[in-house]
Structure 1
Amino acid sequence: MLVKACKPALESSYITKVIHDCKRDSEALYFQFGIKLNNVMDTQIAFSLIEEQEGRLRSPDDYISFVSLLADPRYCGISYLEKEEVRVLLRQDPKFWTYRPLSELMVRAAADDVRFLLYIYHKMTAKLNQRTLWYLEVRGALYCRCFCVNNNDYADWPSLPPVPDSLMMDGNAPEEEILSVLDVPPGKMGCVIGRRGATILSIKESCNAEILIGGSKGPPDKVFIIGPVRQVRKAEAMLRGRMLDIY
C-alpha cells in the first residue's frame, strides 16, 4: 500500500528522484507494482559523466559502487562499512530484506542508503555542464527502462528528454541516445560472453555504448545496449555476429 501510494511521485516528471544505479530498483517497481520510474538523477551515471567531462577515461565495466562514491572526498568522504556487511548477509539469505520486524542493522543500512544522496546530488550537478546534464537526464530515463522488458517497445513509458535547443544551435548537437534489447537464442549466451568474458569485453571496448547482461538476476536471454544510435547499431551487429553458428 505504501509503495502504491508513492506511485504518482515516482512516475512524476516534476519530482526528481535521486538514486544510485536505478536499473534494478526500476525493474522491481515495474514488475511488482506496475510503476514506471521517471525523472531519475542517477548518481552512478553522473559520476561517469563528470569523469569524462574532466578528461578521465574509464574501462567499459568500471562502474562506481555506492560505497566507493560515498568514500570519494569530492562528493562525501565517508565510509559505509555496514553496506558491505549487509551485502554478505544478503548473499547468504536472499530473503534478508523480507524479515519483520526490521533489525537495528537493517534500519541503519536502509537509512544510510538514502541519507547522503541529496548532498551528493547538489555536489554533482554543480560540476555538470549543459551538455552532460542532458546526457544525465536521457541516460537516467534509459536506465529506468532497461530491465523492464515488455511487448510494446516501451510505448507506454514517458517520452525521452529531447535535445535542448541551445545544444542544437552550436553545430555540435549530441546524437540521439537509445536503448536496444537484443534477444539471445538458447545456448548462444556463451558465444556472446566468451571465455572469461573476453568476447563481450572486446565488443564493449570497440563501441561507445553500454552493454548490459541480466545475468543470474535476469532476464537471462537478453542483452541491453544503451548509447548513441550509431554505436548501438555497431554493438548490435558485433553481438549478432557472435551468435552465428560457426560450425
Structure 2
Amino acid sequence: MSSETVATGSGPPPSPPPSGGKIPLPDSNVVIHIVDHASQLPPEFLNPSTEKQLVIGFDCEGIDLSRQGALCIMQLAFPNAVYLVDAVQGGEALVQACKPALESSHVIKVIHDCKRDSEALFFQFGIKLHNVFDTQIAYYLIEEQEGKKRAPDDYISFVSLLADPRYYGASYPEKEEVRFLLRQDPNFWTYRPMSDMMIRAASDDVRFLLQVYRKMMEKLNGKSLWHLALRGTLYCRCFCVTDNDYADWPSLPLLSDKLAAEGYAPEKEILSVLDVPPGKMGRIIGRRGVAIKSVKECCNAEILLGGDKGPPDKVFIIGPVNEVRKAEAILRGKLMDIY
C-alpha cells in the first residue's frame, strides 16, 4: 500500500528578503506521496507525451549511491506534489516503470549534479538518464555569462545554491543533519516504514528544484542553454563507461537552427575516459592533490576521478576537444614517467 502525507504550514514559501539574508526553508502545502506501485504515479509521467513537455524535479537517495551502492528512493517533484518512489518496497518493477520518463527527451529532469544518480540508474537498472537540467552546470554557465571565472574544483552544493538569493535565498540546516546521520549509519535510507525525517529530507531535496529551474531559465541565454543540454548529456554518461563508446545511448544534442543561423559555431565538446594502471592513480593526483590541480588550472576542461565509488582506475575529461586533448597529453605524460 502507498501512503500520503501533507507538509503543511502557513502558506506558500515567502520571497527571499531584499537584503539577501537567509531564512529557514519553509513548509508549504505540498502533498507527499510514498509510492510502492507504479499505478500510484501520475499518468503523464508514466506515459510521456510527445506533444507536451513535462518538467519535474528529480533526485535519488541510497546507500553510497553509485554503480555499487543500492538505490533506495527516487524523488519526483511536480508543482504541487512530491512522489517518493520506494525502490526498497516496490523493487525492480517499480523502478522499471519509471524508465520511459527517465530516458525520455520529452521529460526534463531538473537535478543537482546528475553524475552518480545516472551511474546508479544505469548499472543497477539499465536506465540511461537523459534530458536533464543540471542546476550545478546551469549555475556556472550563468556565472560565465556574467563574466565570472570558475576556480578548479569549485562545485556549488545544493545547500549553497538554495542559499543564493538569486535562486531561492534560504538556509537548509536539515541537510547537514541528514549527512551526519548517514555517516553514523550508511543504511539510513533502507529503513521502512520511512520516518518523518526521511520523508521530509527526501522531499526537500526536490521540492524547491522547480522554482530554481524557473529562476535559472530567466537568466540563461540561448548559447548557455545549448551548452547546458550538451554537458548534461555528457555528465549523464560520465561514470557509465561502456564497451561500445555509448553507441546505444541517446545522441548528443545538435546546435539549434537559430544559433546556427546567427553564426554561432562552438568547438565540439566531448567526454574522454583515460585508463590508469592499477595502483598508479596517486601519481595522477599528486601529494595533497597538487598534480591533478595543476592540470585543471591549465586546461579548460572538467577532470573527474572515479574515486572510491568507482571506477577507481579511470579519469573522465569533459570539455572542448582541444582542451580535452591537452589534458589527456599532460596526464599521459605523468603516466609515462611510471614505466
Normalising TM by the smaller chain, what interval? over 0.9
TM-score under structure 2 length normalisation? 0.71
From 97, 100, 105, the equivalent of 2:189 is 97
Instruction: Quote the Cα distance in structure 2 between the aligned partners of 1:143 and 1:156.
Output: 16
Instruction: Quote the Cα distance in structure 2 between the aligned partners of 1:34 and 1:53.
Output: 36
Write out the 4+ residue segments of structure 1 that deviate beyond 4 Å after TM superposition. Answer: none
The answer as to 2:162 corresponding to 1:70 is: yes
The answer as to 2:245 corresponding to 1:153 is: yes
User: Aligned residues: percent identity?
Assistant: 75
| Larger CA Rg, structure 1 vs 2 | 2
The alpha-carbon deviation at position 96 of structure 1 amounts to 1.5
Instruction: Quote the Cα distance in structure 2 between the aligned partners of 1:146 and 1:115.
Output: 26
**Alpha-carbon deviations, 1:127-148, whole Å to 9, x = none?**
0111000000000001100011
* Match in the other structure for 1:61: 153
The answer as to 2:257 corresponding to 1:186 is: no
* Match in the other structure for 1:225: 317
* Match in the other structure for 2:220: 128
Instruction: Quote the Cα distance in structure 2 between the aligned partners of 1:232 and 1:179.
Output: 8
Instruction: Quote the Cα distance in structure 1 between the aligned partners of 2:338 and 2:153.
Output: 28
Higher RCO (C-alpha under 8 Å, 6+ residues apart): 1
Instruction: Select between 181-190 and 110-119 the one with higher mean Cα deviation.
Output: 181-190
The alpha-carbon deviation at position 7 of structure 1 amounts to 0.5
* Cα RMSD for the two superposed structures: 1.1
Kindly report which structure 2 residues correspond to 1:1-247, keeping only aligned pairs within 5 A, or say none: 1-245=93-337
The alpha-carbon deviation at position 227 of structure 1 amounts to 0.4
Letter of the 2:232 partner, please give it.
Answer: G
**Alpha-carbon deviations, 1:188-232, whole Å to 9, x = none?**
201100010001000001111000001111110000000011111
Q: Any gaps of 5 or more consecutive residues in structure 2?
A: 1-92
Instruction: Quote the Cα distance in structure 1 between the aligned partners of 2:131 and 2:262.
Output: 26
Letter of the 1:131 partner, please give it.
Answer: K
Instruction: Quote the Cα distance in structure 2 between the aligned partners of 1:148 and 1:91.
Output: 26
Q: Any gaps of 5 or more consecutive residues in structure 1?
A: none
Instruction: Quote the Cα distance in structure 2 between the aligned partners of 1:65 and 1:79.
Output: 12
The alpha-carbon deviation at position 25 of structure 1 amounts to 0.5
**Alpha-carbon deviations, 1:64-122, whole Å to 9, x = none?**
00000011110001111111111111122222111111111110000000000011001
Q: Which has the higher strand share?
A: 2
Letter of the 1:25 partner, please give it.
Answer: D
Instruction: Quote the Cα distance in structure 1 between the aligned partners of 2:171 and 2:155.
Output: 18
Q: Contact (CA 8 Å) 1:167, 1:174: kept in 2 or not?
A: no
Instruction: Quote the Cα distance in structure 1 between the aligned partners of 2:184 and 2:276.
Output: 30
Equivalent residue of 2:107, what SS? Answer: coil
Letter of the 2:169 partner, please give it.
Answer: G
Equivalent residue of 1:225, what SS? Answer: strand
Letter of the 2:155 partner, please give it.
Answer: Y
TM-score under structure 1 length normalisation? 0.97
Instruction: Quote the Cα distance in structure 1 between the aligned partners of 2:208 and 2:122.
Output: 25
Instruction: Quote the Cα distance in structure 2 between the aligned partners of 1:93 and 1:240.
Output: 39
**Alpha-carbon deviations, 1:142-200, whole Å to 9, x = none?**
11000111111111000000122332344441111111111101122011000100010
Instruction: Quote the Cα distance in structure 2 between the aligned partners of 1:93 and 1:218.
Output: 21
The alpha-carbon deviation at position 246 of structure 1 amounts to 5.1
Equivalent residue of 2:318, what SS? Answer: strand
